[in-house]
């Protein structure tokens, strides 16, 4: 009888514990999820609170249904965790990390680390931020801190989190159409070619073009620069630049040599070649005459001077 009572009490306690845990998880879910405009499937989307405060990612469609972007839910039993952005991080994005304590208990001597190296001295600030993230900011991050009452009062260290800052767009490549040696009087188009990732396809880039350290077209939305009537004056070293509107990310292309041949150059080269051939022929005749003269002088020397009686 006593054993059955103990078992029943244990089962009741376990049920209460599971119910309490389920309520917490459900409460957390209801606090962090929100569905908007469920009038029809194409207008309905679910987002986390973080998604609703920032620029939204592009939803995807499948067989007429529109689905929101997925999110990650991690349940941890650690005293301390490092909270990081769920969305992909790209160049130019702000990066904010938070050292979160169990039940938000107070912390002191909080330190953030990347790849094992401290990013600053210990302090009370639970957040570490990078205003403009770069690819070099990628690494394994973690934090540590000391709990104050009512915590355990001992130093704790959070598990590391891998942060990857992705390239927003590669360095552009400059292309010339129809060629890098257009005919004089004809058109030539320079294209500054790069590509944004699908997640940031809505990002607007501005393009500018340069020739021999001078700006030939300042920033604009068009990735092309046209020369309607090419001339020898357009010959030179060109490159382009692609940049975000806030100028947080900008990259340059390698230089491209453009040569516009002079239409009269072929004629002048022909004339010069003819003159060189004439000079060569003249030198040939002169050489033959010099040989004849040399042979005549040798003959006179062999005969010796004439004798008179």
Q: What SS3 class is residue 22?
A: helix
Closest among 250, 249, 232, 233 to 241, alpha carbons compared: 250
pLDDT for the residue 149? 73
Q: Map tokens 């001295």 to a residue.
A: 121
- Residue range 25-80, pLDDT digits in tens: 333 333 344 444 333 333 333 443 344 334 444 455 566 777 676 666 667 778 89
Give the single-character DSSP code of 199: G
pLDDT for the residue 277? 82
Going by C-beta distance under 8 Å and a sequence separation of 6 or more, which residues neighbour residue 307?
none
pTM: 0.63
Low-confidence ranges of the chain (pLDDT < 70): 1-63, 67, 69-74, 150-152, 263-269, 300, 302-309
Give the single-character DSSP code of 264: T
Closest among 237, 228, 227 to 259, alpha carbons compared: 237
Q: What SS3 class is residue 267?
A: helix
pLDDT for the residue 61? 58
Domains in the chain (CATH in brackets) are 80-166 (2.60.40.10), 173-258 (2.60.40.10)
pLDDT for the residue 126? 95
- Residue range 287-297, pLDDT digits in tens: 887 877 777 77
Please tell me the distance from the alpha carbon of residue 145 to that of residue 125, in angstroms, as a whole number: 10
Closest among 188, 174, 274, 189 to 231, alpha carbons compared: 188
Chain centre distance of CA 187: 31
Closest among 261, 248, 96, 292 to 181, alpha carbons compared: 261
Going by C-beta distance under 8 Å and a sequence separation of 6 or more, which residues neighbour residue 232?
184, 260, 261, 262
33-36 and 45-48 as β-strands: parallel, antiparallel, unpaired? Answer: antiparallel
Torsion angle defined by CA atoms of residues 202, 203, 209 and 215, in that order, rounded to the nearest 10 degrees = 140
């Amino acid at each position: 009888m006593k054993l059955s009572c103990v078992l029943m009490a244990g089962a009741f306690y376990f049920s209460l514990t599971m119910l309490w845990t389920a309520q917490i998880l459900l409460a957390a879910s209801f606090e962090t999820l929100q569905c908007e405009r469920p009038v029809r499937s194409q207008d309905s989307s679910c987002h986390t609170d973080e998604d609703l405060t920032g620029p939204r990612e592009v939803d995807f469609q499948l067989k007429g249904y529109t689905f929101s972007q997925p999110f990650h839910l991690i349940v941890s039993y650690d005293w301390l965790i490092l909270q990081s952005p769920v969305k992909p991080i790209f160049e130019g994005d702000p990066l904010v990390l938070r050292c979160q304590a169990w039940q938000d208990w107070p912390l002191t001597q909080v330190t953030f680390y990347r790849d094992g190296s401290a990013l600053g001295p210990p302090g009370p600030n639970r957040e570490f931020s990078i205003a403009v993230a770069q690819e070099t900011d990628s690494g394994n991050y973690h934090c540590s801190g000391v709990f104050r009452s009512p915590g355990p009062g001992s130093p704790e260290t959070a598990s590391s989190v891998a942060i990857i800052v992705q390239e927003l767009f590669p360095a552009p490549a400059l292309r010339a159409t129809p060629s890098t040696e257009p005919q004089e009087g004809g058109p030539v188009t320079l294209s500054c070619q790069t590509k944004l990732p699908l997640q940031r396809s809505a990002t607007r880039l501005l393009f500018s073009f340069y020739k021999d350290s001078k700006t030939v077209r300042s920033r604009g939305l068009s990735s092309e620069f046209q020369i309607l009537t090419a001339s020898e004056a357009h010959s030179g070293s060109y490159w382009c630049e692609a940049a975000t509107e806030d100028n947080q990310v900008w990259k340059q292309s390698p230089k491209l040599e453009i040569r516009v041949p002079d239409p009269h150059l072929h004629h002048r080269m022909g004339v010069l070649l003819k003159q060189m051939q004439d000079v060569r022929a003249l030198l040939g005749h002169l050489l033959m005459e010099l040989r004849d003269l040399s042979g005549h002088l040798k003959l006179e020397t062999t005969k010796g001077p004439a004798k008179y009686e």
